[in-house]
């Protein structure tokens, strides 16, 4: 049985190509002009799929992990992700909260050790699941790795899914059959909520969140159609489930936070990981939130923004998209724990040289780690902005020019001071 590849040697390390376009192309459009794609070739070298799975029989301990695609909706490709290795260490393959201090290649090695098995299914199959889906759902209930066996229709092929929304997905193969070899370890709260076919999805998510069920577990249950009333249960594409769970929890915490007094100090929280910087500026005042995102490309990097005022937003955040909800949630979690409300602005800066899109989880976890620290307090917003500028590579004025919420703070600072 092959070993987990945790310290791979990067392939094509010295190849000449422009890594700045990788986050746009994602291995599909050859925007850099180099063929074969260095990103895909590097990923293939890490996965080493020919050695890992030489035939059509796949045995291993799923973290557990499931992927539901969005292409072809309402008929989608869905199935469990299974590594060709056994043991409790496979749990790390589905624990992005433990990845912030790992290298990009280590993260890719973990994810590309998973084989995505897939079978076409209508999304409403979750109402009365066929055997294969029922077995996948049973696995999704577990909080620990579960030994399983899959029979594939053909050997896995390397078709990477490298997305700004989901965790990286590596080799895949059509699925013939799937069965668990062990009984899953299911938390009592998960068993209780998923068995209640009269409980709607939103209160189900919140009940499990309050019980301390991890966000990865919640997203998995939501995606495989194990939450909600009997006739409304559906398979939900993984990338949609991620944002849905962020938004469901965020909306409920938002209601709570509106009842609390304002924070007393101006606070700044900052953290860096995986080529990303997340800074959170909080000011005393009623709840407001804005997410500002900037990719460090070109002589004048472009800043995009989405925001909400006190009563939240009704429309989807179309500019910052999933990262908006992924960073709003940690801010609301923090304020809920502190029993306070604040006006919050999140600054996200991405280094294009760390060029593999890893999913919105990185912003969520970097924000959580930043907020787990003590932060810095300031007497004025101007002082906080001056400190913020030392953590960002793009001029802070370019963010402030774009920010709607900053203008509403009533500061007397002129933007020209930060050029």
pLDDT tens track for 159-185: 777 777 888 888 899 999 999 999 999
The CA-atom distances, in angstroms, between 320 and each of 41, 223, 379, 397 are 29, 22, 30, 19
pTM of the model: 0.89
d(CA 107, CA 129) in angstroms, rounded, equals: 33
pLDDT in tens, 12-64: 343 344 555 555 565 555 555 555 565 666 565 555 666 778 789 999 999 99
Cα distance between the two ends of the chain: 57
**Dist CA 382 CA 192 (whole Å):** 50
- In this prediction, residue 23 carries a pLDDT of 54
The answer to whether the beta carbons of residues 178 and 129 sit under 8 Å apart is: no
d(CA 215, CA 249): 10
The model's pLDDT over 140-159, given as tens digits with 9 standing for 90+, comes to: 999 999 999 999 999 988 77
Tell me phi and psi for residue 116, to 5 degrees. Answer: -80, 110
Task: Judge whether 251 and 312 are in contact, CB under 8 Å.
Answer: yes
Predicted local distance difference test score (pLDDT) of residue 351: 87
CB atoms closer than 10 angstroms to residue 71: 8
Mean pLDDT of the chain: 89
Distances (CA, A) of 308 to 13, 78, 322, 344: 43, 34, 15, 10
Mean pLDDT calculated for residue range 241-269: 98
Return the pLDDT at 408. 87
How many degrees, rounded to 5, is the angle at CA 387 between CA 385 and CA 389?
70
DSSP alpha helix (H) spans, 28-83: 38-47, 49-52
DSSP H helical segments within 301-373, as ranges?
Answer: 322-338, 361-372
User: φ and ψ at 267, to 5 degrees?
Assistant: -125, 145
Q: What percent of the chain has pLDDT over 70?
A: 84
Alpha helices, DSSP H, located in 147-214: 188-195, 201-210
């Amino acid at each position: 049985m092959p070993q987990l590849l945790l310290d791979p040697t990067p392939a094509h390390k010295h190849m000449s190509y422009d890594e700045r376009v990788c986050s746009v192309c994602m291995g599909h459009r050859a925007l850099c002009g180099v063929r074969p794609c260095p990103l895909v070739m590097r990923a293939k070298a890490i996965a080493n799929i020919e050695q890992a799975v030489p035939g059509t029989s796949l045995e291993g301990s799923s973290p557990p992990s499931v992927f539901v695609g969005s292409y072809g909706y309402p008929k989608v490709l869905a199935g469990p992700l299974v590594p060709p290795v056994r043991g409790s260490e496979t749990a790390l393959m589905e624990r992005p909260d433990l990845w912030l201090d790992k290298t990009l290649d280590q993260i890719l090695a973990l994810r590309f050790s998973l084989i995505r098995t897939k079978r076409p299914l209508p999304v409403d199959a979750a109402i009365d699941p066929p055997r294969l889906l029922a077995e996948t759902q049973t696995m999704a209930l577990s909080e620990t790795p579960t030994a399983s066996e899959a029979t594939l229709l053909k050997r896995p092929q390397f078709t990477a899914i490298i997305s700004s929304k989901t965790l990286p997905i590596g080799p895949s193969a059509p699925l013939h059959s799937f069965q668990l070899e062990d009984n899953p370890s299911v938390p009592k709260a998960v068993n209780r909520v998923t068995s209640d076919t009269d409980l709607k999805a939103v209160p189900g998510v919140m009940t499990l969140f309050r019980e301390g069920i991890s966000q990865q577990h919640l997203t998995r249950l939501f995606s495989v159609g194990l939450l909600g009333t009997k006739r409304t249960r559906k398979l939900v594409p993984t990338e949609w489930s991620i944002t849905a769970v962020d938004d469901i929890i965020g909306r409920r915490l938002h209601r709570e936070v509106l009842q609390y007094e304002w924070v007393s100090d101006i606070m700044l929280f900052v953290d860096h990981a995986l080529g990303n910087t997340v800074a959170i500026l909080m000011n005393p005042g009623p709840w407001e939130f804005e997410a500002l995102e900037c990719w460090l490309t070109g002589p004048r990097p472009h800043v995009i923004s989405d925001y909400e005022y006190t009563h939240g937003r009704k429309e989807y955040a179309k500019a910052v998209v999933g990262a908006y909800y992924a960073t709003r949630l940690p801010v609301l979690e923090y304020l809920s724990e502190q029993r306070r409300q604040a006006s919050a602005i999140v600054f996200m800066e991405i280094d294009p040289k760390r060029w593999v899109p890893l999913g919105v989880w990185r912003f969520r976890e970097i924000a959580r780690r930043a907020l787990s620290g003590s932060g810095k307090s300031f007497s004025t917003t101007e002082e906080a902005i001056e400190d913020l500028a030392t953590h960002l590579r793009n001029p802070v004025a370019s963010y402030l020019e774009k920010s709607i919420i900053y203008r509403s703070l009533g500061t007397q600072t002129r933007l020209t001071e930060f050029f």
